[in-house]
C-alpha cells in the first residue's frame, strides 16, 4: 500500500485541477463524497508519480480529465473515484485489493472492469483486443457504470490523439468508430457518439474532414437568412396558440454529412439543401399539437412521418419526425420532443444520473437493461472472444423495424429481420421449435424480411428443431447464437447416439448380441485408458467418423490391433437400419439422393458422421475402393415418416401452360416441388431440372408415371451423380 495517501503528494500534483473539479461537484454531491474523490486523486497522483503523457503532461491529468467528463454527466461519486483510479491497476504496482481496502468493494469492481488484461499472453493483437472488450462488456452487465467510465476514458484519449504516431492514432480511431461510437449510440448517448464520430473522422480521413468543414462553414453563412426566417415563422405560429416552445436550428455533424454522401451517393449541396429544426415542448400532448400546426403551416412529404414517441427506438430515443416542403421548395426536417426527451436523446443512459434529483424517468435505462440481458445470453452461448465480439458488433447496428405480436405487443428488430429472428426475440424455445409463420394472417416463408407494422404469428411444433439453413438469412445475434448453440449441442447428442449404435452393431457382428452391455467394465476401461478418452468421447468420435466402430469392436473383444485398416478376413462389416431422422450426424448424399426403397450403403466421413448413398452411386463405388473399412451396409427401417429430395429431368415440347400442368400433376401425386429450372434445348424442346419431395420409391414411380402420360412430355429421368 502507498503510505500516507493524503499527505504524500507528488511534485506533479495539479492542485488547481482537483480544486476546480471539487467546486463543480459541490452542485450535486455531499461534502464527504467530494472528500472521497479528493482522496482518490491524491492516491492516484502518488501512484502515477514519474509517469507522463505523450504530450509531456503529468499522467494524472488524464484521469482528472476523465473525471471531469463524468462530472458533466452528474455521475455518482463512486464512478468519479473509479475514473480517477482507472489506470492504477494496469500501469502501477497498486492491486485491486488495495483499492478495495481504501475505497470500497464497488469502486474496486468498477476499476477492475475497465482495466485491460495485460498479464495474459494472447496469440494475436486481435485476440487480445477481443478478450479485453469481452471483459469490459461482461463487467458492464454487472454494473452499467463500467462502460460509462470507459466511454469517458476513450473520449479523452480521442481528444488527445494528435500526439500519437499516425498509425497508432488511426488504429484507435477505427476501433472507436467500430465499437465505442455504436455502444454510445446503443445507450442513447448521442452527444458522445457525435464527438467520437467527428474526432475519428478527422483522424482517418483528415483531408475529407477539412474539406467538408470548410464547405459547411461557407454554407452556414449562405443559409443564415433563410434559416432565421423559417425558425421565426415556426415560432410565431406555435406561440400564437399559446404554446411554450423552443425552436432550434439543427445542423448535421461532419461525419453524418460524409456518411450520407457516401451511402446515398449524393453531392454535398444535396445533403446541405435539407434544413433541420428541433421543436422542444413542455409535454407529450404539446408535441402532437405542434405537429398538427406545422403540418398546417407547411406541406408534409408523404411517408416521411415517424412516431418514435409511441414506439421508441431500441436505445430509448423518443421524438416525432416529419419532413416538410418549406418556402422556395426547400425540404425541412423537423423533430418534435419534450425537454425530458431532449435530455435523453443527447445523454441517453447518463440522463439517469444527470436528472436523478428531479425524479427523471429514463427509458434508456430500461432499454439498456434489456440489451445487457441479451449480452449475457450471447456470452453463455459463444465460445471464443472473437466470436462473442463479432455477435456484439452485429447487435450494435440496429436499423430497426417495428412489428406486432398477435396480442398487439410491439417488438423492435434489426432491419432485415425474418420470422425466425422474431421467434427468437420472443423466446429461444419459440425459435427452436418454430416450423412456420403467419404474417398479417397469411402463411409466409420463414426467410422473408419483415416490414414495420406487420403482425407476426409463429407456429411451433413440439418435435421441431432449428434448421442449419436458417443461418443463411437470420440477422439478429440472438437468433444466430441460439441456432449455433442448439446445433452444436444437437451434434454432440447425435454423435453419441450414432456412435453407440455403430459400436453395438459391430460387437453384435462379432458374437456379442447385447453390445457394450455384454463387455466387462475392466475390458472397457483398459481400452479407454489405452485411447486416453472417456466412453462418451469414444461414442462421439465413432459417431463423428473420427474412429472406426469395427476396429474398436475388435480391440474390445481381445484382438490386439493397432488402429488403421481392418484385416480382410474381418467379419465385422455391419448392416444397420436407418429411419432418416437420426439427426445432424446422418445425412443423405446430394450426388445420388437416396430414398426409401433404394438399395443403400453408408460412408463414415470425418467430422460429418454417416453419409448415405445409393449402392450404385459412382462416388460410393470409389469410396469402397479407397476406404472399404469406412463403409457400412445399410437398410431402411419399416417406419419412416419424413420426405426426401429427388432430382428429376423432364424433356418436353415448348407449349403454353405446360409448366402449370406439370406442377398440378406433381401436386396431385402428393409430392412437393422444392425447385425448378427450365433450359431451352432448341425452339421446339425444353428440359426442366427439378427437385421434388417424396416419401419413398413407390410415390416417386407414381409421380414419374403421371408426368410421362402428360401431352408434350417425351421423357422423365431420375438424375444420377
3-state secondary structure of 627: coil
Summarize the chain as % helix, strand, coil (round to 5). Answer: 50, 15, 30
Q: Is the dihedral of CA 472, 176, 348, 244 positive or negative?
A: negative
Query: With contact defined as beta carbons under 8 Å apart, do 183 and 147 qualify?
Result: yes
- Smallest CA-to-CA distance from 88 within 35, 36, 42 is with 42
Annotated catalytic residue: which of 12, 14, 76, 90? 90
Annotated catalytic residue: which of 12, 14, 76, 91? 91
Query: With contact defined as beta carbons under 8 Å apart, do 590 and 649 qualify?
Result: no
Residues ≥6 apart with Cβ < 8 Å to 598: 614, 615, 697
| DSSP secondary structure code for residue 87 in this structure | T
Residues ≥6 apart with Cβ < 8 Å to 273: 330, 331
Query: With contact defined as beta carbons under 8 Å apart, do 688 and 678 qualify?
Result: yes
Residues ≥6 apart with Cβ < 8 Å to 163: 53, 54, 55
Q: Is residue 91 annotated as part of the catalytic site, yes or no? A: yes
3-state secondary structure of 691: strand
Query: With contact defined as beta carbons under 8 Å apart, do 631 and 601 qualify?
Result: yes
* Grid cell listed for 80: 468519479
CB neighbours (10 Å) of residue 335? 21
Alpha helices in 577-687 (DSSP H): 618-626, 658-668
C-alpha 617/C-alpha 619 separation (Å) is 5
C-alpha 337/C-alpha 345 separation (Å) is 9
Q: Is residue 143 annotated as part of the catalytic site, yes or no? A: no
C-alpha 656/C-alpha 711 separation (Å) is 12
C-alpha 94/C-alpha 40 separation (Å) is 13
Cα distances from 147 to residues 120, 191, 374, 601, 678, in angstroms, run 22, 16, 16, 57, 57
Q: Which residues are catalytic?
A: 90-91
Amino acid at each position: 500500500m502507498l503510505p500516507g495517501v493524503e499527505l504524500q503528494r507528488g511534485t506533479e500534483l495539479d492542485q488547481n485541477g482537483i480544486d476546480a473539479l471539487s467546486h463543480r461537484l459541490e452542485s450535486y454531491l455531499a461534502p464527504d463524497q467530494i472528500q472521497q474523490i479528493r482522496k482518490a486523486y491524491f492516491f492516484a497522483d502518488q501512484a502515477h508519480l514519474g509517469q507522463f503523457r505523450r504530450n509531456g503532461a503529468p499522467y494524472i491529468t488524464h484521469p482528472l480529465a476523465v473525471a471531469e467528463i463524468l462530472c458533466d454527466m452528474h455521475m455518482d461519486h463512486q464512478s468519479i473515484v473509479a475514473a480517477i483510479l482507472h489506470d492504477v491497476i494496469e500501469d502501477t504496482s497498486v492491486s485491486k485489493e488495495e483499492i478495495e481496502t481504501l475505497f470500497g468493494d464497488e469502486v474496486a469492481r468498477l476499476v477492475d472492469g475497465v482495466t485491460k488484461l495485460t498479464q495474459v499472453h494472447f496469440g494475436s493483437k486481435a485476440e487480445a483486443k477481443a478478450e479485453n472488450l469481452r471483459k469490459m462488456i461482461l463487467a458492464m452487465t454487472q454494473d452499467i457504470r463500467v462502460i460509462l467510465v470507459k466511454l469517458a476514458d476513450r473520449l479523452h484519449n480521442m481528444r488527445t490523439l494528435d500526439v500519437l504516431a499516425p498509425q497508432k492514432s488511426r488504429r484507435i480511431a477505427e476501433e472507436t468508430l467500430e465499437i465505442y461510437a455504436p455502444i454510445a449510440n446503443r445507450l442513447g448517448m448521442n452527444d458522445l457518439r457525435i464527438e467520437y464520430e467527428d474526432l475519428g473522422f478527422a483522424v482517418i480521413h483528415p483531408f475529407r474532414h477539412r474539406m467538408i468543414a470548410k464547405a459547411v462553414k461557407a454554407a452556414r453563412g449562405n443559409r443564415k437568412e433563410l434559416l432565421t426566417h423559417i425558425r421565426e415563422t415556426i415560432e410565431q405560429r406555435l406561440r400564437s396558440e399559446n404554446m411554450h416552445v423552443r425552436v432550434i436550428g439543427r445542423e448535421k455533424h461532419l461525419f453524418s454529412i460524409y456518411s450520407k454522401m457516401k451511402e446515398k451517393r449524393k453531392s454535398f449541396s444535396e445533403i446541405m439543401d435539407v434544413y433541420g429544426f428541433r421543436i422542444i415542448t413542455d409535454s407529450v400532448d404539446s408535441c402532437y399539437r405542434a405537429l398538427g400546426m406545422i403540418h398546417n403551416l407547411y406541406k408534409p412529404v408523404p411517408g416521411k412521418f415517424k412516431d418514435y414517441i409511441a414506439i421508441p427506438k431500441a436505445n430509448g430515443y423518443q421524438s416525432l419526425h416529419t419532413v416538410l416542403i418549406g418556402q422556395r421548395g426547400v425540404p425541412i426536417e423537423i423533430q418534435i420532443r419534450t425537454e425530458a426527451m431532449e435530455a435523453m436523446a443527447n445523454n441517453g443512459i447518463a440522463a439517469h444520473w444527470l436528472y436523478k434529483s428531479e425524479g427523471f424517468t429514463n427509458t434508456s435505462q430500461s432499454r439498456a437493461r434489456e440489451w445487457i440481458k441479451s449480452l449475457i445470453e450471447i456470452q453463455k452461448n459463444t465460445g471464443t472472444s472473437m466470436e462473442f465480439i463479432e455477435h456484439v458488433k452485429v447487435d450494435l447496428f440496429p436499423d430497426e423495424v417495428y412489428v406486432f405480436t398477435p396480442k398487439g405487443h410491439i417488438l423492435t428488430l434489426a432491419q432485415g429481420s425474418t420470422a425466425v429472428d422474431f421467434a427468437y426475440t420472443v423466446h429461444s424455445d419459440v425459435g427452436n421449435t418454430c416450423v412456420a409463420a403467419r404474417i398479417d394472417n397469411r402463411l409466409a416463408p420463414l426467410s422473408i424480411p419483415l416490414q414495420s407494422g406487420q403482425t407476426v404469428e409463429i407456429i411451433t411444433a413440439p418435435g421441431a428443431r432449428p434448421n442449419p439453413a436458417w443461418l443463411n438469412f437470420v440477422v439478429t445475434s440472438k437468433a444466430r447464437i441460439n441456432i449455433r448453440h442448439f446445433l452444436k449441442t444437437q451434434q454432440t447428442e447425435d454423435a453419441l447416439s450414432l456412435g453407440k449404435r455403430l459400436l453395438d452393431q459391430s460387437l453384435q457382428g462379432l458374437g456379442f448380441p447385447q453390445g457394450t452391455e455384454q463387455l466387462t467394465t475392466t475390458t472397457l476401461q483398459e481400452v479407454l485408458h489405452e485411447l486416453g478418452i472417456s466412453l462418451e468421447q469414444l461414442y462421439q468420435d465413432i459417431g463423428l467418423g473420427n474412429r472406426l466402430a469395427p476396429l474398436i469392436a475388435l480391440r474390445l473383444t481381445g484382438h490386439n490391433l493397432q488402429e488403421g485398416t481392418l484385416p480382410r478376413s474381418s467379419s465385422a462389416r455391419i448392416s444397420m437400419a436407418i429411419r432418416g431422422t437420426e439427426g445432424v450426424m446422418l445425412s443423405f448424399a446430394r450426388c445420388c439422393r437416396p430414398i426409401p426403397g433404394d438399395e443403400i450403403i453408408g460412408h463414415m466421413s470425418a467430422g460429418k458422421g454417416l453419409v448415405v448413398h445409393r449402392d450404385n452411386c459412382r462416388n460410393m463405388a470409389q469410396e469402397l475402393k479407397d476406404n472399404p473399412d469406412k463403409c457400412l451396409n445399410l437398410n431402411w427401417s419399416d417406419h419412416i415418416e419424413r420426405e426426401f429430395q429427388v432430382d428429376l429431368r423432364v424433356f418436353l415440347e415448348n407449349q403454353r401452360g405446360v409448366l402449370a400442368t406439370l406442377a398440378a400433376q406433381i401436386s396431385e401425386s402428393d409430392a412437393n416441388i422444392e425447385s425448378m429450372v427450365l433450359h431451352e434445348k432448341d425452339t421446339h424442346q425444353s428440359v426442366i431440372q427439378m427437385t421434388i419431395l417424396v416419401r419413398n420409391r413407390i410415390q416417386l414411380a407414381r409421380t414419374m408415371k403421371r408426368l410421362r402420360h402428360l401431352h408434350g412430355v417425351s421423357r422423365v429421368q431420375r438424375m444420377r451423380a
